[in-house]
Amino acid sequence: MTFKIAASPHTHQRRTTQQVMRWVYLALIPGVLVQTYFFGFGVYIQLALALFTAWVAEGLCMRMRGRPIGHAWQDHTAIVTAVLLAVSIPALAPWWIIVMGTAFAIVVVKHVYGGVGQNLFNPAMAGYVLLLVSFPVQMTSWPIPAELAQIQVSITDTLNLIFTGFTSAGYNLEQLRMGIDGMTMATPLDSLRNDLNHQLTLTEALNKPIFGDIAGIGWAWVNFAFLAGGLVLIKQKIISWHIPGGMLVGLLVPAAIYWLFNPDQAITPMLHLLSGATMLGAFFIATDPVTAATSNKGRWVFGLLVGFIVFAIRTWGGYPDAVAFAVLLANMCVPVIDRYTQPIAYGHGGRS
């Protein structure tokens, strides 16, 4: 009789990094499709640019480190980083935006710290924050939903806009962001926050065409699509429910309390939930296994912290959406969270 010795933990189902990453980017497909439906084919172009940049950057970094290039391409971690960053930026952003952000995420945030499993921060969100801080105009110029646009943009016009800044007819992005009322339109969160800061009531702010019956037109369905993909990941046990649940609770509870006490000057809980990158952040970004807490209790605390920071920045900060900042700030707190939430090993009475 022979005995096989294996390291713990002893589980019945084992998945490789490649299999886990494949499930993640497959679960992103519904959100990508819905986002394309509302905001145009620029989403696909940004995806293509991000994937190509990640492929090149990953290969060059592995070559410089003297590691096998093929293995790095096969684990699919760079693919997930590229997709997350591509769907986080405006669909018609200049081509160099996504190239710069993806290269920074792969080269600096991932490989400078040692590669897969060694990075301290979520690579996609670190790249996003670099772009947002450095190029705020380009990173906040989201196209308006197609049904509200005065000028419809073809695939050719989309390519021209991304690579030259103008359509074949000479329109620039600012002109294309004019809605049916002739006003330049912002995203729902940005529009609502600006109006509330100018002392408009919530009812007055919600009268703009960008707001639909549920939340912002297009944005609500994008969030529903990412929610569906996230539930698939939980069903397949790719991620646990603790971080998404914690983040949504950490966002909704303070949002509901603040709205109840200040209903005319606060963003509603439903808009917090279904606008911006809420669902993308809860199920695909905050759940990064490398940069999040490790125990179930720690994941719950980590999610609560991310959700509360999102609420705080959206309410009192200088940016309309805050998922990237919240995730990076919570990444900094992971060592402390793990220290006080990981189970104490048998034989150890406490922590020094």
CB-neighbour burial class of residue 332 (10 A; exposed 0-12, middle 13-18, buried 19+) = exposed
pLDDT at 180: 46
> Among all chains, which residue has been given the structure tokens 């952003």?
93
For residue 275, is pLDDT > 50?
yes
Q: Is 216 helix (H, G, I), strand (E, B) or coil?
A: strand
> Among all chains, which residue has been given the structure tokens 């519904």?
30
pLDDT at 205: 77
Q: Is 143 helix (H, G, I), strand (E, B) or coil?
A: coil
Instruction: Encode pLDDT of 209-261 as tens digits.
Output: 777 767 788 899 999 999 999 999 999 999 999 999 999 999 999 999 999 99
Cα separation, 291 vs 312, in Å, equals 22
pLDDT at 183: 45
Instruction: Encode pLDDT of 295-332 as tens digits.
Output: 999 999 999 999 999 999 998 888 878 899 999 999 99
Cα separation, 49 vs 52, in Å, equals 5
Task: Using the Cα atoms of residue 108, residue 111, residue 114 and residue 116 in order, give the sign of their dihedral.
Answer: positive
Residue pair 27/229 in contact (Cβ under 8 Å)? The answer is yes
pTM above 0.85, yes or no: yes
In sequence order, the β-bridge partners of residue 166 are: 172
Average pLDDT, the chain: 86
- Rounded to an integer, the average pLDDT of 282-297 is 93
Cα separation, 67 vs 48, in Å, equals 25
For residue 114, is pLDDT > 80?
yes
Instruction: Encode pLDDT of 151-186 as tens digits.
Output: 778 899 889 999 998 888 787 788 777 654 444 456
- Rounded to an integer, the average pLDDT of 202-209 is 79
Apex CA 308: angle with CA 304 and CA 310, to 5°?
120
Nearest one of 141, 187, 146, 142 to 38, comparing CA atoms? 146
Nearest one of 308, 325, 327 to 256, comparing CA atoms? 308
Cα separation, 98 vs 104, in Å, equals 10
Alpha-carbon 13 to chain mean position: 28
Cα separation, 132 vs 120, in Å, equals 20
Q: Is 286 helix (H, G, I), strand (E, B) or coil?
A: coil
In sequence order, the β-bridge partners of residue 179 are: 149
Cα separation, 327 vs 290, in Å, equals 12
For residue 352, is pLDDT > 60?
no
The larger pLDDT score, comparing residue 309 to residue 16, is at 309
- Rounded to an integer, the average pLDDT of 117-145 is 90
Cα separation, 103 vs 281, in Å, equals 21
In sequence order, the β-bridge partners of residue 209 are: none
For residue 4, is pLDDT > 70?
no
pLDDT at 142: 86
Cα separation, 257 vs 263, in Å, equals 10
Q: Is 237 helix (H, G, I), strand (E, B) or coil?
A: coil
Find the Cα–Cα–Cα–Cα dihedral 243, 247, 249, 253, rounded to 10°.
Answer: 160
Cα separation, 54 vs 158, in Å, equals 22
pLDDT at 350: 54
Cα separation, 300 vs 313, in Å, equals 20
Q: What is the DSSP letter of 148?
A: G
Cα separation, 119 vs 122, in Å, equals 7
Q: For the chain, what percent of residues have pLDDT higher than 70? A: 89
For residue 7, is pLDDT > 50?
no
